[in-house]
């Protein structure tokens, strides 16, 4: 990308979007277009149309989405599928019609089947049933990926899909009901330490395995891939480092300084048993994650202490 290119980051205040902005600015990209939801509701087709007509961004990072953890996904499925379908449809279509050079769509590892050969290859998509707790969100994300492919095939629009593993880090959502596993767990352990609570309850058996990627690593990969001309479909972006929920809980206790007991509520769902990505394609291109899970959790907790705690 030319350093003066007009770059629109949709969802720039979210965890991934804000990290992409940091990465772009660090690499000398300054002509960034950013709008809050109040300024530009992406689920409003007429507002999106007017925005693209006026600004005509050359590159679009589509990270805006309604996201949440297992509880939010289990109880707000209608909201997840409706809002994400609207956002994706409006932005992808407007970007194409107003001459964007390339669009990068942020997918999700929950798009992969619940049970699939590990590590997950890009070719595993739509080869089996999805995890029921994230079905509406995953279905919307699959539709976004298919839309990118269809616009490429029919119109020649250069739209690619990035498939990240579980993302965590600076800018994460710490809402007790809507946050993802790492942020939600960090908050519970931190608050239990402050309150002197002698037991923290973690959902599931603790056996589920998750590949985690620090959001700043993911952002660096997104900027890297936006500039590659040899990517024309979906590509996995992960750290290739996985951890069980049980080990993550114990790591969280260590990082936060919590010294009480940890109990696993086996009546609660584990979600998918394992989600490890095959990252061989992006690694062959010359990119590899730089942050270990332990380093990333420590960085995230230090940031959270200065901004939230």
- Residue 230 pLDDT class (50, 70, 90 cuts): confident
- Residue 173 pLDDT class (50, 70, 90 cuts): confident
Cis before 71? omega within 30: no
- CB within 8 A of 17, min separation 6: which ones? 9, 10, 11, 61, 63, 64
Mean pLDDT of the chain: 94
Q: pLDDT at residue 189 above 70?
A: yes
In contact, 263 and 202? CB cutoff 8 Å? yes
Dump pLDDT digits (tens) for 64-121: 998 877 777 788 899 999 999 999 999 999 999 999 999 999 999 889 998 889 999 9
pLDDT of residue 177: 66
Was 188 annotated as part of a binding site? yes
Dump pLDDT digits (tens) for 254-275: 999 999 999 999 999 887 788 8
- Residue 309 pLDDT class (50, 70, 90 cuts): low
Q: pLDDT at residue 213 above 90?
A: yes
**Candidates 3.30.930.10, 3.30.870.10, 3.90.550.10, 3.40.50.720; correct CATH number of 7-169+212-239+277-291?**
3.40.50.720
Task: Please pick, among 112, 137, 151, 258, the residue that the annotation labels catalytic.
Answer: 137
Was 210 annotated as part of a binding site? yes
pTM > 0.85: yes or no = yes
Break the chain into its structural domains and give their ranges: 7-169+212-239+277-291
Was 11 annotated as part of a binding site? yes
Was 93 annotated as part of a binding site? no
Dump pLDDT digits (tens) for 26-64: 999 999 999 999 999 999 999 999 999 999 999 999 999
Was 267 annotated as part of a binding site? no
Mean of the pLDDT values across residues 277-281?
96
Was 128 annotated as part of a binding site? no
Catalytic annotation present for 137? yes
* Nearest partner of 18 among 226, 171, 142, 222, judged by Cα: 171
């Amino acid at each position: 990308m030319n350093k003066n290119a007009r770059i629109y980051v949709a969802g720039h205040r979210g965890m991934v979007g804000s990290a992409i902005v940091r990465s772009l600015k660090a690499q000398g990209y300054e002509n960034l277009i950013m709008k809050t939801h109040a300024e530009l509701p992406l689920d409003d087709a007429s507002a999106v149309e007017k925005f693209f007509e006026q600004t005509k961004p050359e590159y679009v990072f589509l990270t805006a989405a309604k996201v949440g953890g297992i509880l939010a996904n289990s109880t707000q499925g209608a909201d997840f599928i409706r809002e994400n379908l609207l956002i994706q449809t409006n932005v992808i279509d407007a970007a194409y019609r107003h001459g964007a050079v390339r669009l990068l769509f942020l997918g999700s590892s929950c798009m992969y089947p619940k049970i699939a050969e590990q590590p997950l290859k890009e070719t595993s998509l739509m080869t089996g049933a999805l995890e029921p707790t994230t079905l509406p969100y995953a279905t919307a994300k699959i539709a976004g990926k298919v839309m990118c492919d269809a616009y490429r095939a029919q119109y020649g629009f250069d739209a690619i899909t990035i498939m990240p593993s579980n993302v965590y880090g600076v800018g994460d959502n710490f809402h007790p009901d809507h946050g993802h596993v790492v942020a939600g767990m960090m908050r519970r352990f931190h608050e239990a330490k402050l309150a002197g609570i002698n037991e923290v309850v973690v959902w599931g058996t603790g056996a589920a395995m998750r590949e985690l990627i620090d959001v700043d690593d993911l952002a660096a990969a997104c900027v890297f891939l936006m500039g590659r001309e040899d990517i024309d479909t979906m590509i996995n972006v992960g750290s290739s480092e996985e951890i069980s929920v049980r080990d993550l809980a114990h790591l969280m206790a260590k990082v936060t300084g919590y010294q009480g007991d940890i109990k696993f509520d086996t009546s609660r769902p584990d979600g998918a048993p394992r989600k490890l990505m095959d990252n061989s394609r992006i690694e062959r291109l010359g990119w590899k994650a730089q942050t270990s899970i332990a380093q990333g959790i420590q960085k995230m907790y230090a940031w959270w202490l200065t901004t939230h705690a």
